[in-house]
Structure 1
């Protein structure tokens, strides 16, 4: 029987108790001891100090020694000095259970913290599994078991039981310039979209604009592009320009679209008058009739859209029942799932909503997940759906709930608290209640003032410096991190008052929170009012 691994965890005096607490949460049979070096904070430990002090302790009986992940520098010299295996552990004690449970398979490092290595390892495994699943979908789709939309060497494909195709719409593309369309298409592709949809304005009548918009999207990305309109002339122009999928056909326009029968088409339950039946039973019946008509007209590659929505007179449950009933009648048929119909019509944060929509789509077995980022509240939905569908697919294959995976959609919340409690040794001799401090008059900094802005395209913070009462900034400092910006401000001697420096640090921190969360940044106002 293999003997359990013996691990020594090294930390500082103040952290020892909660390091032991977290280490004891492990599920593995790894034997663990915790050693506190005589320093108050683990981050103060240096490799040379660790090598010198650890020689005083009997550490030769351990299979490996884990130093704090926050220790700066390379620990290779520590291992050589002790003639043992010394590596960096996680940065935070809260991550110890996860690290200890997989420590024998982790490629530990003397340079990189174990928490980062664990995340990298799991992410690589997950990506290999996703690639294998996509390769399986391609093989099956090429044999006719699924749907395959090609564009040269690239394509979007699906087979029953495989990942759905993520389709992202550029809304009202006909109103946009070629560069705006290209920017949106590149953005969607970078977020994980398998296809980009060119959405036309309601009312139709702009076939030239449809062709122009499709060409602009095709020039920008390698993935297939679809055309979305109710106008047959716009759809025809889009296909002639290179669109590989039609959104959408119904009883009112299928006859006019018959010349495009070689192109895959999404079919909806709309009747000859363009009206969609209210009840799910009627919708499914009408959808089957429209699919039969499309087949009679010669369309070979059909995708069914039972219509997902929650706007009256429809209810969300009723629309889901439509999907359930259709797939009960036609199991394995390629189905279109309009997740954006729900997210755009709900004033809720999109990450959790998109996860549930991806989960529902996966469990129903849909072929397409469709979304749009037409409003500020849904910005990020393509990336969220891309991540969400990977989560549910990986969890399904592991036969576990969608948690403890190498990716998640935790943005404002977290699985484990990493805060360190106030320790007995940190109790102050004197406590000042900040609320009781008298307000002092505001003094303008002789060096000038700052206006803080954020650049969402580059993901950077911009600090504009104004001398005196000047209307135009004399200097601009930009950077992706607040500390980089304020250090440059100090280095350039652009601030002289302590309260002004503190104010700048506060505002720069707010700007970073706004960048990360998507909230608006307005100087002197709360990010979360």
Structure 2
């Protein structure tokens, strides 16, 4: 180990390193002994300039040191790193490509029970198809938008939810609007009115919810061509059942439908809400899967996600894993309430992860994709810059004068263990910070920096405000913070992820 005359590697440039290597023979001699040289991903500039000095390939490694083993492994497998950008982006792409390959294998190994439109319905998952139902509370004018939105989130089937009290003409318009909003997704209709379902079939719907003892004779003309989700009893008759009584009743309804010649049936055992029989209903899925091996079955998540006041992401993830374990063919989700927003993409990614994990015989971790929206797998890292400061200033809630004027240079970090934001000011050309501020409030730290540095420019003050606020969000949510890099909080990247993984599967 040779100590370099650099205070903080994040402030180093490729030109600085080149100058150091050229002027310290010991460093130059050591580097020439290696086949490949990796430089911290934090270094600014093109590190290819170092190759002229040491005559060895030079690449940028990762910003996060914990990724070094993966980086080296990637190189040993024949991968190529960048001389201009950190390894994180390349490693992420490599993981994604590996996941896509694994998921394609899962999809190609499907054992279909039958097809609905272009979709093959697996007799037992994985893979597991995803259906999303439009809220019954939205106006007809919004149905097309929701249908397109759900397909964009990864739903292979979009179900039009029909309000019970809605008149026939409005319901038919609702179905038509949904059909117009779809590209490749299969259209389905969920209604207690046979005429609405029949109209849906005429408009191209391939699936209906739900077939029960009270309406089996109503759809005989469609019994071979169209698919039906089967429920145990007639809801219009006021029949109620639990997990224990529902399974025998469902078997009877399936047998009756079969006797009438229905060929495409999907069983729905109905998942009970939390704390009211959820576990027992999961057990009924297991029993059905083993006892009725010739009929695919569906698991609807809404009774759990909508009837549990917690963030939907974890609920949808664990339910997806359970759906894969019990062999569900189809999962149904809805976004009826605002808290369930993005349930479709949450479930889609979770189902893909669980499907690949099931194939590999492992838990759904380190698969190449994740559904970590508000948290990271690792905490933010500190460079030790706080300890190198000539002066350390703890920033609390004192009132400070707000004057945006001119600027200095600041390095920002987050320490999750102590719950602090750290902001260190470097004077021009300095290798160690002049002063470090730390505290929990981005606003208070910004005020203090502005007060102590009257030369701070408005542009840099604005930049500091953004970065400090990102640091505070990271502190509050557990997200990993790296200065000048996005926190990746939100769903935009997850929507793109769905498109990336599914690209080419429907071709």
Q: Please give the range of the TM-score, normalised by the shorter of the 2 chains.
A: 0.7 to 0.9
Q: Which of 211, 219, 244 in structure 1 is aligned with 2:172? A: 211
Query: Equivalent of 1:320, from 282, 286, 306?
Result: 282
Gaps spanning 5+ residues in structure 1: where?
1-33, 446-494, 519-529
Q: Which has the higher contact order (CA 8 A, sep 6+)?
A: 2
Within 2, Cα distance between the matches of 1:113 and 1:499? 27
Partner of 2:11: 44
Matched, 1:117 2:90: yes
Q: Give the counterpart of 1:169 among 133, 143, 164.
A: 133
Is 1:351–2:313 an aligned residue pair? yes
Q: Tell me, what secondary structure is at the counterpart of 1:431?
A: strand
Report if the CA contact (8 A) 1:173-1:198 is conserved.
Answer: no
Corresponding position: 1:293 with 2:256: yes
> What is the count of residue pairs matched by the alignment?
421
2:59 and 2:458 mapped to 1: Cα distance? 43
Match of 1:67 in 2: 39
Which residue among 268, 278, 296 is the counterpart of 2:231?
268
CA contact (8 A) 1:251 1:274 kept: no
8 A Cα contact 2:18 2:50, kept in partner: yes
Structure 2 counterpart of 1:181, from 130, 136, 143: 143
Pairing 1:108–2:108 present = no
Hey, what's the Cα distance between the residues in 1 that align with 2:395 and 2:458?
A: 27
1:157-194 Cα offsets, whole Å, 9 max, x none, are: 424343110101111277221xx222222221221111
The separation in 2 between residues aligned to 1:332 and 1:162, in whole angstroms, is 16
Q: CA deviation at 1:301?
A: 0.4
- How far apart, CA to CA, are the structure 1 residues paired with 2:235 and 2:162? 21
CA contact (8 A) 1:224 1:243 kept: yes
Q: Report the Cα distance in structure 2 between the residues aligned to 1:78 and 1:497, rounded to whole angstroms.
A: 33
Q: 2:53 — aligned with what? A: 81
1:97 deviates by: 3.6
2-structure distance, mates of 1:421, 1:496: 27
Q: Deviations over 1:42-71 (max 9, x none)?
A: 222222222332343221111211111122
Distance in structure 2 (CA, Å) of the matches to 1:301 and 1:122: 38
Pair 1:160 & 2:160 matched: no
Check the 8 A contact 1:134/1:163 in 2, yes or no: yes
Does structure 2 conserve the Cα–Cα contact (< 8 Å) formed by 1:44 and 1:71?
yes
Determine the structure 2 residue equivalent to 1:126: 99
Residue of structure 2 equivalent to 1:516: 489
Alpha-carbon distance in 1 for matches of 2:196, 2:116: 20
Q: Determine the structure 1 residue equivalent to 2:344.
A: 382
Cα distance in 2 between the residues matched to 1:396 and 1:74: 42
Per the alignment, residue 447 of structure 2 pairs with none
Distance 1:404 1:83 in 2: 36
Tell me, which stretches of 5 or more residues in structure 2 are unaligned? 406-456, 478-486, 492-507
Q: Distance in 2 between matches of 1:187 and 1:129?
A: 27
> In structure 2, what is the equivalent of residue 6 of structure 1?
none
Q: Does 1:228 align with 2:190?
A: yes
Q: Distance in 2 between matches of 1:248 and 1:407?
A: 35
Which digits, 9 at most, give the CA deviation of each residue in 1:254-295, with x for residues without a partner?
Answer: 222223312100000124754454332310111011111211
User: Which TM-score applies when normalising by structure 2?
Assistant: 0.75
